Amino acid sequence: MLSGERRAEVCQAGEVQLDVGGVAKHFGGVRAVETISLAVNRGEILSIIGPNGAGKTSFLNMVSGFYRPDRGTIRFEEREIAGMRPSKIAALGIARTFQNIALFGGMTVLDNIMLGRHVRMKSGVLSSFLYWGFAQREEIAHRARVEEVISFLDLEDLRKEQTSALAFGLRKKVELARALALDPKLLLLDEPMGGMNQEEKEDMARSILEVNEEWGTTIILIEHDMAVVMDISERVVVFDHGRKIAEGSPAAVARDAEVIRAYLGTARSREGLAA
């Protein structure tokens, strides 16, 4: 939890939507995350950066319920969610993408995105047989929402394509669409531009900004491309060896001596951050 002084400071900038207090996660002798506290304001884009093994993905895994913290609190809209099942956390409005694409290659783009609606569906298999009318109406309503997401991300021409046949960048975009189909209040993006070429990165960055600006979705982004991070983030948090070593505006983080030592190191990297 935030201290009273820190909470007041953060609330001056905006309403705290996610409040993480002193979370830690160890795997045997490996300290993946060590006592990290972080507040995320409603509607902001916050980027988490740091070297490989810094604990970034482990942190997202705790927020999304894939890992149970060894200690600490995670409050989403004033509700404690640490240790909840991923499906329950998703139903509260937290969606995520993964470093490694987790689509079903043998299914179409439309069907993959429809899977993102599953936690919003009230009718199960049994009710589909017993109450066909309700299940059919619900299916139509969810399909309409998915079509809105498809249109928003300009995926109309691909809806019937199998995802395995798509280029890498398009598969990343479909994964974003599936997360958006949940209608998330908070979207967790784990290296959404990893492996993309420059054109694909620019397209993904535009999509992320549009989701934030037009839908008001709060976004936590893990990304290694510093140009993207500095361009679209309102705040940047830096992890190193499971600890939070810096937090602030992109410009402030770019000048932070500990960040430069721990993460950037070279003059070339410093120039990249400052650009």
How distant, in Å, are the alpha carbons of 191, 198, 199, 273 from that of 260?
A: 21, 25, 28, 10
Among 120, 148, 183, residue at a domain's last position: 183
What residues are paired with 94 via a beta bridge? Answer: 186
- Shared-domain flag, residues 120 and 202: no
Q: Quick check: is 98 in a domain?
A: no
> pLDDT (tens digit, 9 = 90+) per residue, 129-177?
444 455 566 677 778 889 999 999 999 999 999 999 999 999 999 999 9
Q: Quick check: is 99 in a domain?
A: no
Which CATH number goes with the domain that contains 193?
3.40.50.300
Q: Quick check: is 16 in a domain?
A: yes
The token duo for 262 is: 């721990």
- Shared-domain flag, residues 131 and 68: no
- Shared-domain flag, residues 147 and 207: no
Specify whether the CB–CB gap between 222 and 208 falls below 8 A. Answer: no
- Shared-domain flag, residues 266 and 230: yes
Does residue 206 have a pLDDT over 80? yes
Confidence at residue 141, expressed as pLDDT on a 0 to 100 scale: 75
pTM of the predicted model, to two decimals? 0.85
What is the domain range of residue 145? 108-183
Question: pLDDT grade, residue 57 (50/70/90)?
Answer: very high
Question: pLDDT grade, residue 270 (50/70/90)?
Answer: very low
Angle between helices 168-180 and 132-152 (to 10 degrees): 130
Higher pLDDT, 130 or 104: 104
- Please state whether 55 falls in left (phi above 0), alpha (psi between -120 and 50) or beta: left
Q: Quick check: is 243 in a domain?
A: yes
Does residue 180 have a pLDDT over 80? yes
